[in-house]
Chains A and B, each alone.
Chain A
Amino acid sequence: MDSVAILSHLRPGDRVVIDDIQADESVRRRLHAMGLLRGRQAQLIRRARFGGPLQVRVGSVDLILRRRDADSVHVTPLL
């Protein structure tokens, strides 16, 4: 599957499928454990102002993560 987008670049309301997390082992495992797993659907809910974190809904859970961490999450947008 080709990833065509990065989680941190999405706009509020965008729905995606998570492809891959390209980060160190420890970061990847933490994001996995928080539910950001390959094949899961996610939706960007809102972005905080001034370059602050993102609110992302993955399944039943809402997460906030920093843009820097979200940069490593590759996704495929859903139409």
Chain B
Amino acid sequence: MRRIALVGMPNTGKSTFFNRLTGAATRTGNWPGVTVDLRSAKILLGAEMVEVVDLPGIYDLQGYSEDEHVVRDFLTHNAVDLVCLVLNATQLDHQLGLALQFSQLEVDSLILLNMADEAKQLGLHIDTDTLTKALGREVRLLSARRGDGFRETKAAIEHHLASATAVQIGAAVGEFGIIDALSGEVQALYERSVQAPAIMTPRLTERIDRVLLHPWLGLPLFFLFMFLVFQAIYALGTPLQDGVAWALDGFRQIVLEPLEPHVPHLVYGLLVDGIYDGVGTVASFVPVIILFFFMMSLVEDSGYLSRAAFLMDALMARLGLDGRGFVMLLMGFGCNVPALMGTRVMRSRALRLLTMLVIPFSLCSARLQVFVFMTTALFTPRQAPLVLFSLYVVSFLAVLLSALLVKRRLVSHEPFVLELPPYRLPQLRQVFYRGWHEVRHFLHRASKFIIAGVVLVWLLTHYPVANPPGGPDSFAGMLGQFLQPVLSPIGISAQMAVVLVFGFVAKEIVLGSLVAMTGLQGAALSGYLAGHMSWVEGYSLMLFILLYTPCLSTVATMRTESHSLRYTAFSIVWALTIAWVFSFVFYQGASALL
């Protein structure tokens, strides 16, 4: 099969072109020689099936960043028939160096000057014939967003493929032009081929930036936007999540439960309480992931994410993070799972891992449910909101502390340089693709892990004896007993330890497990909690629940996003340690004072 590699700098609309070329049928997978997942799609071009691979954005074929390694490794380990090099037509003074590097490779390339519409608006006149002659490669204008020139581009690709031969670039890729050395050539070529108006009209972007990056207004506006985005995601997401839960529960009651007497106990339990509920857990995340990425694509595609990085970087740099990490962290207060997936915008692995380590400390909406119930049960109506607020403060403290402690071990060696793209109206088509793609990614990668975890917890709480589920005679109960030496110093009883086992799967089932274990509901359960634990024990338990691990889905996402079981294990151990230390300091301190 023929293979096309899509290469280009970040912010050139490479992904827009990829989506337009391939439609929605993309997959994410592994490639020889490359450690990260790459997006690809098989499409019919002319009479042939062609595989199109979207490589990460790079600035320099010789560069040292991780993405630049990935592109080199891909091209030296996989044969490619054609490279489509996507450049931003409005920034050719910066981008022709990359084109010169590719023109020196053996492999055929087609150079696409994307955003031709914007270039025209800016009054740039680009002479593609001169460029084609100078580079020895066909150069075409294109607007992937609007589709102008797309059909001709597709025909050109077919034409190139008809005569192309697959080339696996030799390891000597390192021998070709160095950007610095090419700069004279780039400048000369740019002057010959591009006519720019003498005075560039002050762009709309500059006027918007005067407000949005204003020294005093910038940050308040940023927080306002984040608040609105957050509200939009969860105001729309919560009813959808409830709807999914309602539908799954209805199916369970109407279709599955009547089957119970006719099916062996073990089989029913395994299939319904285990696997079906596991599927339900996975499904409950789908609406919020779609909405999250819908909003994130708006923020990112509009160009605002880089502005957020500009505004927040002063603080985040001290924590070893960057300004974009702050956005993900805030989103984590809704749900940690999409926030972890969102860190993919960070291209430095160390930076990304550090951000992923701190996101799970964000008090997400599932934990909030548990805390609202517990604070109302254990505190007076006047105290409860303050207690809840203190948990948010602790959540931030855990983020700060973790970042400060771990940042030395996860130092990003890449300089922090980001492009500030002009503001653009997001294309709905792109936004839709993004949400769809991320949900598929989540379902494909995380669902097995989550279902297996739910089944495991079901087994732990129902065997060997389940009376009640998670009672003292179940494996979970035994585990609770076994953990007493560790948990009693932080004021957590064996019974509550079982709640932690349930809570590991999802915070949404913490209250349900309490109901099942005590046989009490609502006000009666509140009374039971108030009667069985002091407020100090209760607060210590809440601290532990807040910090120890968000849920199985977060762990599964951590694993798929970090591509490392070791790092995932580290993040769990780290969170458990932080949780235990916070609870210990609080419980022992408060017990000593009172």
Partner of B63, one of A30, A62, A65: A30
CA distance in complex: A39, B182 (Å)? 13
The minimal Cβ–Cβ distance linking A54 to chain B, given in whole angstroms, is: 9
CA distance in complex: A53, B309 (Å)? 9
B residues 312-339 in Cβ contact with A at 8 Å: 312-315, 317
Partner of A63, one of B93, B178, B219, B418: B418
Interface size class of A (residues with CB under 8 A): 20 to 34
Known: A30-B64, A38-B180, A69-B417. Is A48-B310 also a contact (CB below 8 A)? yes
A53 contacts B313, C-beta separation under 8 Å: yes
CA distance in complex: A55, B314 (Å)? 13
Q: Which residues of B contact A37 (CB under 8 A)?
A: 179-180, 183
Known: A32-B179, A52-B310. Is A64-B94 also a contact (CB below 8 A)? no
B93 contacts A64, C-beta separation under 8 Å: no
Task: Report the tally of A-B residue pairs with Cβ distances under 8 A.
Answer: 114
Q: Which residues of A contact B187 (CB under 8 A)?
A: 39
B65 contacts A30, C-beta separation under 8 Å: yes
B306 contacts A64, C-beta separation under 8 Å: yes
The minimal Cβ–Cβ distance linking B348 to chain A, given in whole angstroms, is: 11
Is residue A31 within 8 Å, beta carbon to beta carbon, of the partner chain? Answer: yes
Known: A30-B64, A31-B417. Is A64-B179 also a contact (CB below 8 A)? no
Known: A52-B313, A61-B94. Is A25-B64 also a contact (CB below 8 A)? yes
Interface string of B405-438 (1 = CB under 8 A from A): 0000000011111111100000000000000000
A55 contacts B315, C-beta separation under 8 Å: no
Q: Which residues of A contact B65 (CB under 8 A)?
A: 30
B313 contacts A48, C-beta separation under 8 Å: yes
A30 contacts B313, C-beta separation under 8 Å: no
CA distance in complex: A33, B418 (Å)? 12
Is residue B62 within 8 Å, beta carbon to beta carbon, of the partner chain? Answer: yes
A65 contacts B64, C-beta separation under 8 Å: no
Question: Interface centre among B90, B187, B415, by most A CB within 10 Å?
Answer: B415
A residues 11-59 in Cβ contact with B at 8 Å: 23, 25-35, 37-40, 46, 48-53, 55, 58-59
A residues 53-79 in Cβ contact with B at 8 Å: 53, 55, 58-66, 69
CA distance in complex: A31, B62 (Å)? 13
Known: A52-B311, A60-B91. Is A29-B418 also a contact (CB below 8 A)? no
CA distance in complex: A76, B431 (Å)? 43
Is residue B197 within 8 Å, beta carbon to beta carbon, of the partner chain? Answer: no
B418 contacts A64, C-beta separation under 8 Å: yes
CA distance in complex: A46, B314 (Å)? 14
CA distance in complex: A43, B326 (Å)? 28
The minimal Cβ–Cβ distance linking A39 to chain B, given in whole angstroms, is: 7
A27 contacts B415, C-beta separation under 8 Å: yes
Residues of A within 8 A of B (CB): 23, 25-35, 37-40, 46, 48-53, 55, 58-66, 69
Known: A32-B179, A52-B314. 15 other contacts (CB 8 A): A28-B180, A29-B62, A29-B64, A30-B63, A33-B97, A35-B93, A35-B94, A38-B183, A46-B215, A53-B309, A59-B93, A65-B418, A66-B415, A69-B416, A69-B417
Cross-chain pairs A/B with CB under 8 angstroms, 10 sampled: A23-B415, A29-B62, A29-B64, A33-B59, A37-B183, A50-B314, A52-B313, A59-B94, A60-B93, A63-B418
